[in-house]
Amino acid sequence: MARQKSISDQDIHAHLLALLAESGEKALSFGALSQRCGLAPATLAQRFGSVDAMIRAALLAEWSRLQFAVAESEADAVLSSKGAQALLKRLPCPSPAVLALSLRDPEVVQAAQDWRAKVEAALAMRKGGGSKGREAAALIFAAWQGRQIWEAAGGKSFRLADMLKAIG
């Protein structure tokens, strides 16, 4: 009979992503995560099999969390340009480190692409739909992501509201 988990996978994933944000990819090991979450390295190894499998599980869980956040935010954002801005303000954004690590595994890449498609579809609906709405959504998404990435490197370059006004 399997023992009950004292710490959930979700909590371990949160610790792993925090460690990634603080110390970078090179810090992701069973030992480093063990110090952070309190489980023995052997327990983590038994649960996930390898460091790569542990990272993969955390990334897939993060993309799943981000997908759920889109669904929640969509329900509250009206179908207008202001709704597009409100949607983006509510959405959590993947960190640059999560994006970089996500490009290594086809299933994780697919999860990231699915999230992007869902965000762009939600934006397109708020920009009137059709091909013009999809084009505007792709531009808005790219600008939003670029702003998020560079903001992490030191400063805001533009306001989302100004960008949304500029593209109509």
Digit-coded pLDDT (tens) for 42-79: 999 999 999 999 999 999 999 999 999 999 888 877 77
Q: Are 86 and 77 in contact (CB under 8 A)?
A: yes
pLDDT over 90, % of the chain: 52
Residues constituting the chain:
168
CATH code of the domain occupying 9-166 = 1.10.357.10
- In a 13 Å sphere around the CA of 13, the CA atoms on its Cβ side amount to 15
AA letter at 163: M
pLDDT band at 166 (very low <50, low <70, confident <90, very high): low
Q: Are 161 and 85 in contact (CB under 8 A)?
A: yes
pLDDT band at 1 (very low <50, low <70, confident <90, very high): very low
Stretch 96-121: mean pLDDT: 94
What are the DSSP E strand ranges found in 20-162?
Answer: none
Q: Which two tokens stand for residue 120?
A: 């762009």
Q: What is the pLDDT of residues 24-36, one digit of tens each?
A: 888 899 999 999 9
Q: Is the pLDDT of residue 2 over 60?
A: no
Q: Is the pLDDT of residue 151 over 90?
A: no
What is the model's pTM? 0.83
Q: Are 15 and 31 in contact (CB under 8 A)?
A: no
